[in-house]
Structure 1
Amino acid sequence: MVKEMRSDLNPFSLSKHNSVIIKFAVSFLLVGLAFRLLISGSFRFSSVVETSIPANEETKPESLMASLPAEEPASNDFEANKSQNSQSGKCDLFTGEWIPDPSGPFYTNQSCLQIEGHQNCMKNGRPDSGYLYWRWSPRGCRLPKFNPKNFLHLMRNKSWAFIGDSISRNHVQSLLCILSQVEQAVETYHDEEYRSKIWHFPTHNFTLSVIWTPFLIRADIFEDMNGVSSSEIQLHLDELDKKWTDQYRNFDYAIVAGGKWFLKTAIYHENNVVTGCHYCPGKNLTELGFDYAYRKAMQLIFNFITSSGHKTLAFFRTTTPDHFENGEWFSGGTCNRKVPFKEGEVNMTDVDTMMRNIELEEFAKAAAYDLKKGWF
């Protein structure tokens, strides 16, 4: 985990971050939202809000059994849940709480080969497992447990793409782990660094892709696989990364995400001219700030999606909070929590708030434009 954070974060830009996230559970929230929208069929462009779920005390599976709230289990019948939620008119997947789930996860590091060595918490010495026994419970509606068989049935002859940084890669890995219980995917492509990949499920003719493009816009990155930089990143604020835009028309569903890579030191280019930078002391360039570049990128991304003419069902996943508390990975920060925060127990940092506001503002503009075209 620390090795991965070295690649994704800049120590000079993240001094105020102290919130925490566990990627495993976020992927379940993401999949839950995907199913809600797949079943409703009423949205063509949707926003996914990240929910942080850190933990702060020892939790054992047996103790979770006793603390499980008394509630009627959600049905796996998607049509039944759809009918109930439509009647209440109060279903908001983003408002709710994490509750104990004694049924546990769909997979572990022992049952899924997609989990890489450096991601394997148990193999790398984590002694507890209580963090695996939680599920998201939206307020006012029931979220059915993900059903891989139903998912593959719905995705027959379709294609999905996760487009973004390492968080997107982790979501793909989680989805592959779940779907492998029904059908094993065949890897049909990978780039030289094994960051972008394509899998095919032959029985269902379903294609799943992950495209590694941490900025989503054109970026010249001079980092090795360990995150060691030999030069500043060169960001072109008026060009999208063709690695994903050239393939966009191939996708029926796309989950697009950016975020924390914009906090790295970078030189900004517009119209083939250097216009400024973010954290580049000694370069004699105007400090424009990461927020300037992030807003430019959001505008480009949303304009491309709404103007593409291809009605991909596009989800935008907002940036993730930090993984560490009481410091960063380089300054004594820790990831020691074991149960989720309750509402009101943690506040967003200034940087997280700034990025979120940019995302929401630019998304609202794109959604309003999309509404005029009759896609909603």
Structure 2
Amino acid sequence: MGFQFNAMFLLSFFFFFFFFFLLLISDTTKAENFTTTLSVINNNATTNHLPPSSSRKLGSTCNLFQGNWVYDPSYPLYSPTTCPFVDPEFNCQKYGRPDNFYLKYRWQPFSCNLPRFNGLYFLEKWRGKKIMFVGDSLSQNQWESLTCMIHAWVPNSKYSFVKTNGLSAVTFEDFGVMILLFRTPYLVDVVHEKVGRVLKLDSIRIGNAWRGMDMLVFNTWHWWTHTGRSQPWDYVQEGNKMYKDMNRLVAFYKGLTTWARWVNLNVDPRKTRVFFQGISPTHYEGRDWNAPAQSCSGQTKPFFGKRYPAGTPAAWVVVNKVFSRLKKPVYLLDVTRLSQYRKDAHPSAYSGEHSGTDCSHWCLPGLPDTWNQLLYAALFG
């Protein structure tokens, strides 16, 4: 699932991205504002300091997503041998990973402490509620992590576990809390038609299944980069126009804009909390951390430099541009930079259901537990 940008491609993208949006902006004032915004984003891509947002702060002084990884012998938060929800693809210890240092790192924000996760408190506060993760296998990664973190607090509590290719659910029956996973790699529709499989950039009929949830956690990006045999569509459609292919970042922007429109039209913030899991990085190319001959394979420690050499992914730019157009409150779990540092946290060869080297997903226990600690902080911090 990995997709890497070399320097020339990234530079070409930014020029294309700049002119693409200028075409979308009709008046001079908006164009000038966008130019300023793009300049700030490019600067942040170089310095790797992401701009703060009030939706990302705990209180008034702490940005949860700016910090570093520290060794903590009390970690991990649960054992993969006692959690019934861990998929073989993510169960690195079971499939022979010889080291365990990757389990012992805790995310430490610079200006505050993350609240310690309390699964019993979570269940009490969300008693009788429905929580749904919507997205690809990285949503599955986070969904399994959260259910394991909660289960560790109530190991004797009755639960039900149903897993399918499309919709899966864990229900903690003593509390009436249902945590669901809706698998959809693009958020927008992929429809089988006479011409073949069509990725519809302006259609979310599947969104009907997301209604009635008390919390929604969305994710998409990695499948937008797939080509060849791993690409699950034959054509891209927008309106009445059909394309054999399209610049993938442009397609991502259009699809995510359709998602934002769906949120604006369908979410009642008095009834539903909405989150977006930010761009999860891959570590197939060691040049991203100044080690060109390496990949995630054999990595046992995080990257500890002050600035991640690869800078900010272009997909992060797209996400933040779309977020600027959201009218309903959506909390961005901005996990990109803190995850970039964790080149050590992938399954690599230690996976039960993934051939080759997996530098896209994450071991469990592992990094997605931190994503859920950030989710917990956003809910209760």
The reply to whether residue 174 of structure 1 matches residue 131 of structure 2 is: no
In structure 1, what is the Cα distance between the partners aligned to 2:259 and 2:78? Answer: 34
Paired letter, 1:173: E
Alignment partner of 1:297 out of 241, 245, 255 = 255
Distance across 1 between alignment mates of 2:106 and 2:294: 30
Three-state SS of the structure 2 residue aligned to 1:254 is strand
Quote the residue 1:238 is aligned against.
202
Higher relative contact order structure (alpha carbons within 8 Å, sequence separation ≥ 6):
1
Structure 2 unmatched runs, 5+: 8-57, 228-232, 330-381
The answer for the alignment partner of 1:137 in structure 2 is 108
For 1:1-376, what aligned pairs fall within 5 Å after superposition?
8-9=1-2, 14=4, 16=6, 86=59, 89-181=60-152, 182=154, 183-187=157-161, 189-191=162-164, 193=165, 195-220=166-191, 234-242=198-206, 245-265=207-227, 267-277=235-245, 288-311=246-269, 312-326=272-286, 333-348=295-310, 353-366=313-326, 369-370=327-328
Against the structure 1 CA distance between its residues 343 and 332, is the aligned structure 2 distance closer, same or farther, given a 3 Å change threshold? closer
Amino acid at match of 1:246: N
What's the CA shift for 1:232?
8.3
Distance (whole Å) between structure 2 residues aligned to residue 164 and residue 254 of structure 1:
10
Q: Residues 146 and 121 (structure 1 numbering): CA distance in 2 closer, same or farther, change over 3 Å? A: same
Rounded to whole Å, the distance in 1 between the matches of 2:188 and 2:108 is 35
C-alpha distance in 2 between matches for 1:180 and 1:112: 7
Using a 3 Å threshold, how does the CA distance of structure 1 residues 361 and 118 change in structure 2: closer, same or farther?
closer
Residues matched between the structures, number: 263
Give the Å deviation of 1:16.
4.0
For residues 309 and 200 of structure 1, the distance between their equivalents in structure 2, rounded to whole angstroms, comes to 23
Contact 2:83/2:148 (<8 A) preserved: yes
Q: Aligned with 1:208: secondary structure?
A: strand
For 1:217 and 1:319, the matched residues in 2 are separated by 17
Q: Sequence identity of aligned pairs in percent?
A: 25
Paired residue type of 2:299: R
What is the TM-score with the length of structure 1 in the denominator? 0.64
Please report the TM-score for the alignment, with normalisation by the length of structure 2: 0.63
Rounded Cα–Cα distance in structure 1 between residues aligned with 2:145 and 2:112:
24
The question of whether the paired residues in 2 share the 8 Å contact of 1:257 and 1:317 is answered with: yes
The alpha carbon displacement at 1:106 in A equals 1.8
Aligned AA (1:256): F
Q: Is the 1:185–1:199 contact (alpha carbons within 8 Å) kept by the matching residues of 2?
A: yes
2:263/2:328 contact within 8 Å kept: no
Question: Deviations for 1:34-78, whole angstroms, at most 9, x for unmatched residues?
Answer: xxxxxxxxxxxxxxxxxxxxxxxxxxxxxxxxxxxxxxxxxxxxx
SS of the residue corresponding to residue 324 of structure 2 reads helix
1:306 CA drift (Å): 1.7
Q: Which shifted more, 253-262 or 135-144? A: 135-144
Specify whether residues 16 and 321 from structure 1 end up closer, same or farther in structure 2 by C-alpha distance, changes over 3 A only.
Answer: farther
1:220–1:344 CA distance, 2 compared to 1 (3 A):
farther
Shift of 1:110: 1.4
Q: For 1:354 and 1:233, locate their aligned partners in 2 and report how far apart those are by CA, in whole Å.
A: 27
Shift in CA distance, 309/14, structure 1 to aligned 2, threshold 3 Å: closer
- The answer to whether the Cα contact below 8 Å between 1:14 and 1:263 also exists between their aligned partners in 2 is no
Deviations 1:309-346 (A, max 9, x none): 42221111122111323389xx9844322222224352
SS at match of 2:313: helix
What are the Cα deviations for residues 8-44 of structure 1, in whole angstroms up to 9, with x where unaligned?
35xxx54649xxxxxxxxxxxxxxxxxxxxxxxxxxx
Whole-angstrom distance in 2 between the partners of 1:106 and 1:324: 27
In structure 1, stretches of 5+ residues that fail to align are: 1-7, 18-84, 222-230, 278-287, 372-376
Q: Deviation at 1:200?
A: 1.6
Residue by residue, what CA displacement relative to the aligned partner does 1:115-166 show, whole Å, maximum 9, x if unpaired?
2333221222211111101111112112121000111111111111111010
Q: Name the CA distance, whole Å, in 2 between partners of 1:343 and 1:241.
A: 44
Q: Partners of 2:304 and 2:81 in 1: how far apart?
A: 30
Cα separation, 2, equivalents of 1:143 and 1:332? 32
- Tell me the distance in 2 between the aligned counterparts of 1:92 and 1:240: 33
Give the CA deviation at 1:111: 1.7
Change (3 A) 1:273 1:173: same
Provide Cα deviations, 1:265-299, integer angstroms capped at 9, x if missing partner: 3521123541341xxxxxxxxxx300111011111
- Report the Cα offset of residue 220 of structure 1: 4.6
CA distance in 2, matches of 1:149, 1:206: 11
Note the C-alpha offset of 1:170: 1.0
Residue 370 (structure 2) aligns with: none
> In structure 2, what is the Cα distance between the partners aligned to 1:131 and 1:104?
10
Q: What is the aligned-residue RMSD (CA, Å)?
A: 2.8
- SS of residue paired to 1:143: coil
